[in-house]
């Protein structure tokens, strides 16, 4: 069996509420309110993109 067959995975958590001050994005903006958090594992590293609940394709 190839140990590197599954080198990525993803999960989504909806209904997360940001704390006081919001969440700082890579772009340097803060977003607040109800958010969806994705966790993406790839090559031993994780990234955590967030977006407003109900918004498809990015931030507003």
Q: Write down the pLDDT at residue 40.
A: 93
For residue 17, name the pLDDT band (cuts at 50, 70, 90): very high
Task: Provide the residue ranges of all domains of the chain, joining segments of one domain with +.
Answer: 9-52
- Cα 40 from Cα 52, distance rounded (Å): 17
pLDDT tens column, 38-59: 999 998 889 988 888 855 544 4
**Predicted model pTM:** 0.62
Q: Give the distance, in angstroms, between the CA of residue 49 and the centroid of all CA atoms in the same chain.
A: 3
Q: 31 with 25: CB under 8 angstroms?
A: yes
Phi, psi for residue 57 in degrees, rounded to 5 = 85, 15
Nearest Cα to Cα of residue 53 among 35, 37, 39 = 35
For residues 21-35, b (16+ Cβ closer than 10 Å) or e, as one string?
A: eebeeeeeeebeeeb
Tell me which of 1 and 21 has the higher pLDDT.
21
Q: Write down the pLDDT at residue 8.
A: 81
């Amino acid at each position: 069996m190839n140990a590197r067959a599954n080198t990525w995975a993803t999960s989504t958590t909806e209904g997360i509420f940001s704390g006081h001050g919001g969440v700082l994005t890579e772009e340097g903006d803060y977003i607040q309110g109800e958010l969806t958090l994705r966790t993406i594992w790839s090559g031993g590293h994780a990234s955590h993109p967030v977006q407003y609940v109900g918004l498809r394709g990015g931030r507003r």
